[in-house]
Chains A and B, each alone.
Chain A
Amino acid sequence: MNEGQEKSYVLFPMGEKRFALPAEVVAELARPDHLQTFPHRTPLLAGVLVRRGRIVPVCDVAQVLLGPNAPPRKFFLIAKCQAGERQDWTAVPVTGECELANLEPAHPVDGAPAYVTGSVTAGAENVVVVDLEKLISMEAPR
């Protein structure tokens, strides 16, 4: 069922598929940057980036969306994530250029993963809209 009102989405590629985030949560698309790592025990976190003086965690959600054989990530999509009462930036590695589009949202199909909040249609392509916080909280498949 369509909700009847267009909204802005950032469509980001992960391999041969694309996924969407509401545009209001996206801060910027960054070129490949110097990923820095240090020991930690949080699944999916690949390290941190330094952007405009901020330390931004990098969450490799491709492992959840595509599995361990995801193609190399080329850019970082930096999004605002709600963390308690605060909004933190989180970088998501993506495999190519992103697209900003005004699209009409639809409800997710039955049985969709918990991180899917809806879907949009871009041309002939059906793109699922993801909730980044829920996606980040997922465990990577082993």
Chain B
Amino acid sequence: MKKQPAAPAPPPQLAQRRPSQGSPAPKAQEGVILFTVGGYKFAIAAGAVKEIRGMEGLHPFTLGGISARVGKLKYTLERDGITYFVVDASVHFHLTRSTPARVLVLRNLSTAVLVDSTDRMTAISALHALPRAFTGDEREWYRGLALLGGEVVPVVNPAAFLSKDDQEILSAGLERVRGVAAG
């Protein structure tokens, strides 16, 4: 049986903190990786990313009705004995155009994320709360907003790419398929 990654633990620094509304979180540097999807720039805590890799080694994900239910899940990736569910970030963010070329393998989660490109690593000193006027799914998608040279960049919440429910359904489905294959 393939092993699953350990239970999620918060990445270091500001990583899992959500800022209080209005004022940015206290000054503390946090390393982030900038990436793009569908022409939009995003940031993710560097501590939340285990590896950045190309598209090689991805296996198309087909698991009956589950594939349709978790439509943003496109591939799986076997890495160091762990099965990662690869989420298409453009579907996650409801973007219509994207040209995925890179995979962010997330740390402490069984999730990897398909993105168009990775840009660079940088540091942010403040995480601004998402204004309360935003009331949709983005409240879950983003930990907050960073200002990078006057540009507003959403800082993604790594745990939001696949909900716990989705992960449980997927893991159970995968185990079932492997059980059938082994039997």
A residues with a Cβ closer than 8 A to B are 34, 36-42, 45, 48, 50, 55-57, 59, 81, 83-84, 86, 88, 90, 136
| CB closest residue in chain A, given B41 | A38
Within 8 A of A (CB), among B84-134: 93-95, 128, 131-134
B163 at the interface (CB under 8 A from A): no
**Contacting pair A41 B128 (CB below 8 A):** no
A136 neighbours in B (Cβ, 8 Å): 133
Give 5 nearest A-B pairs by CB, closest first.
A41-B136, A83-B132, A40-B138, A57-B133, A39-B93
Query: Least Cβ distance of B28 to chain A in Å?
Result: 18
Task: For A133, give the chain B residue with the smallest CB separation.
Answer: B133
Contact B154 A50 (CB under 8 A): no
Q: Are B133 and A59 in contact (CB under 8 A)?
A: yes
Interface presence of B55 (CB below 8 A) = no
**Binding site of B, secondary structure by majority: helix, strand, loop or mixed?**
loop
Given A55-B145, A88-B22, A42 and B135 contact (CB-CB distance below 8 Å): yes
Residues of chain A within 8 A of B138, CB atoms compared: 39-42
B contact residues around A50 at 8 Å (CB)? 147, 150, 152
Query: For the complex, is B61 an interface residue (Cβ under 8 Å from A)?
Result: no
Which residues of B have CB within 8 Å of A41? 94, 136-138
Question: Known: A38-B40, A38-B152, A50-B152. Contact between A45 and B22, CB under 8 A?
Answer: no
Residues B128 and A38 in contact, CB atoms below 8 Å apart: no
Cβ–Cβ < 8 Å partners of B133 in chain A? 42, 45, 57, 59, 81, 83, 88, 90, 136
Nearest chain B CB to A100 CB, angstrom units: 24
B contact residues around A57 at 8 Å (CB): 131, 133-134
Query: What per-residue 1/0 map shows which CB atoms of B134-149 lie under 8 Å from chain A?
Result: 1111100100010100
CA distance A39 to B151 in the complex (A): 15
B135 partner residues in chain A, CB cutoff 8 A: 42
| A84 CB contacts on chain B under 8 angstroms | 21, 132
> How many angstroms from the CA of A19 to the CA of B8 in the assembled complex?
51
Query: Shortest Cβ distance from A131 into chain B, in angstroms?
Result: 15
Instruction: Quote the shortest CB–CB distance from A103 to chain B (angstroms).
Output: 28
Q: Considering the chains assembled together, what is the distance between the CA atoms of A39 and B156 in angstroms?
A: 11
